[in-house]
Amino acid sequence: MDLLSNTIQPYAWGSRTAIPSLMGTPPTGEPQAELWMGAHPAAPSRVDRGHGPLPLDRVIGSDPATELGTPTLRRFGPRLPFLLKLLAADAPLSLQVHPDPAQAEAGFTLENALGVPLGAPHRTYRDPHHKPEMIVALTRFHGLCGFRSVRQCADLLDALAVPALRPHAEVLRSRPEETALAEVFTAFLNPSEGLLGTVTEAVTAAAARVGPHQKDFLCYAEVARAHPGDPGLLAALMLRRVELRPGEALFLGAGVPHAYLSGLGVEIMANSDNVLRCGLTSKHVDAAELVRVIRFSALPGRVLTPRERAGEEIYPIPVDDFRLSRFRLRGAEQSRPLPAGVPQIVLCVEGAARVTSVATGDTLRIGPGQSLYVPAAEAVSLAGEGAVFRATVGIEVASDATPGPREGSKAT
């Protein structure tokens, strides 16, 4: 097992205080939006096995069978298939969706054939993989996720009392759901002249009025302040407002429109860069491709709570690229074994944890915001006092795996 040295991403929407407060470090004065833990080539974690720091993707690539285990290697190839993050939002993120596996592979192949460089700012598909993701709230966490029902969309537009919105409300009330959502959403991404300014003023005014939609309009007024003049505001009006309490989670599958707004959470995702944006961002926008892959369905986003099994609280999700669980450690309890056979990242978010190698007895201690990587060939046990998240893959591994010791482990 290896203590991870991780990269903080200073995106403009990030909080300046949330991650430093969790980790007990002084703020830098700059946004600290995401702390990445994993082997993503853009910012891999680093490990030191006695020969200086090395990127985790290079370590895995040098011996994927030992690092990932045979089941993971067969299913996903010689790469860690998930990326774990601490995410701290202080302003709205982009309005976006992610492709399914077939869409990602087709888009990646097409852009390669067109000669679009992988690092080009206007590149949409940067790899051939899908990007499901899940956020688990550590504080109150706010976001937009999935379409409102057509009736709710129409009622919200009517509440703004903007004459130019009435035809869109009528479409929502008179057409089949998929057709209506697609027509109005597409129109909002290409608004008529003056509509965006008028709606922005109406949203700001509605946020100041007591009424059944006030909480929604307070949310959209904040979006408008953060992204003035961005047509993504109109599209955002069609999305459900979601609030997570600490410990609750939201899973985002392919084609689901979403935008995180504020809060601190643990995020896990498939190890992919494929994000299709249509607004609320300074990054590349590909609204036409987003409309092609988005799912125009008003199925509600389901807030997840973990299911406990043998002291491990597991978040149920429908993909096998990742699996996330939580342990609430109580110092008087016996240590808990973490099975071998799959790669794992252990992240402490509260208190302190001790992770001990079964083979060598070596122990690593981690505090809030610290994490370690456990290769598939190593069995470890977990103890301490506080809260810990365990990230791994969602595939079954034979319970009789008997790993041996791995050279280069360090103890503290």
Let me know if residue 137 belongs to a domain.
yes
Whether residues 36 and 122 share a domain: the answer is yes
- pLDDT on residue 396: 72
Q: What are the residues whose beta carbons fall under 8 Å from the beta carbon of 25, sequence distance 6 or more?
A: 369
Give how many domains the chain has, as a whole number. Answer: 3
Judgement on whether residues 215 and 277 belong to the same structural domain of the protein:
no
In a domain, 300, yes or no: no
Determine, yes or no, domain membership for 411: no
Give the Cβ contact number of residue 297 at 10 Å: 13
Residue 119 in any domain: the answer is yes
> Residue 4 in contact with residue 37, Cβ under 8 Å?
yes
Q: Which pTM value belongs to this model?
A: 0.92
- Residue 367 forms part of a structural domain: yes
Q: Are 321 and 330 in contact (CB under 8 A)?
A: no
Instruction: Identify the CATH number of the domain in which residue 382 sits.
Output: 2.60.120.10
Sign, Cα dihedral of 320, 310, 38, 303: positive
Whether residue 186 sits in one domain with residue 114 = no
Contact by Cβ (8 Å): 136, 148: no
Look up residue 174 and give its two tokens: 């008179």
Q: Which two tokens stand for residue 187?
A: 């129109």
Active site residues: 277
State the pLDDT at residue 239. Answer: 97
How many Å apart are CA 330 and CA 146, to the nearest integer? 38
DSSP 61: H
402 domain-assigned: no
**Alpha-carbon torsion, ordered 110, 116, 117, 118, to 10 deg:** -40
Calculate the alpha carbon distances from 43 to 34, 35, 55, 85 in Å. 11, 10, 9, 12
Q: Which tokens in the block code for residue 291?
A: 């409309």
Residues 6+ away with beta carbon under 8 Å from 167: none
CA 82 from chain center: how many Å? 11
98 inside domain? yes
Same domain flag for 96 and 125 = yes
Q: Are residues 13 and 119 in the same domain?
A: yes
53 lies in the same domain as 89: yes
Nearest to 125 by CA among 290, 251, 321: 290
pLDDT at 6: 97
Contact 102, 110 (CB under 8 A): no
Residue burial 319-345, b: 16+ Cβ < 10 Å; e: rest: bbbbbbbbbbbeeeeeebebebbbbbb
> Do 15 and 133 fall within a single domain?
yes
Residues 13 and 120 in one domain: yes
Same domain, 157 and 101: no
Question: Which residues, including other chains, have CB under 8 Å from residue 301's CB and lie 6 or more apart?
Answer: 145, 146, 240, 242, 250, 252, 256, 258
Q: What is the pLDDT of residue 334?
A: 78
Nearest Cα to Cα of residue 336 among 314, 363, 308, 355: 355
Q: What gap in Å lies between CA 366 and CA 347, rounded to an integer?
A: 8
Same domain, 230 and 260: no
- What's the confidence (pLDDT) of residue 183? 97
Query: Is the sign of the CA dihedral 230, 261, 104, 188 positive or negative?
Result: negative
Q: Are residues 316 and 339 in the same domain?
A: yes
Domain containing 285: what range? 7-144+243-290
Which of helix, strand or coil describes residue 379? coil
Give the strand pairing for 336-338 and 95-97: unpaired
Q: Is residue 348 part of a domain?
A: yes
Amino acid (one-letter) located at 16: R
User: In this structure, are 19 and 134 located in the same domain?
Assistant: yes
| CA 60 – CA 377 distance, rounded (Å) | 12
| Euclidean distance between CA atoms 389 and 275, whole angstroms | 25
Beta bridge partners of 86: 35, 266
- pLDDT at site 397: 66
pLDDT tens, per residue, the chain with 412 residues: 999 999 999 999 999 999 999 999 999 999 999 999 999 999 999 999 998 999 999 999 999 999 999 999 999 999 999 999 999 999 999 999 999 999 999 999 999 999 999 989 999 999 999 999 999 999 999 999 999 999 999 999 999 999 999 999 999 999 999 999 999 999 999 999 999 999 999 999 999 999 899 999 999 999 999 999 999 999 999 999 999 999 999 999 999 999 999 999 999 999 999 999 999 998 999 999 999 999 999 986 689 999 999 889 999 999 999 999 999 999 877 789 998 999 999 999 999 999 999 999 999 999 999 999 999 999 999 999 999 999 999 987 654 333 333 333 333 3
Q: How far is CA 280 from CA 6, 95, 220, 227, 255, in A?
A: 27, 6, 12, 6, 18
At 17, is the secondary structure helix, strand, or coil?
A: coil
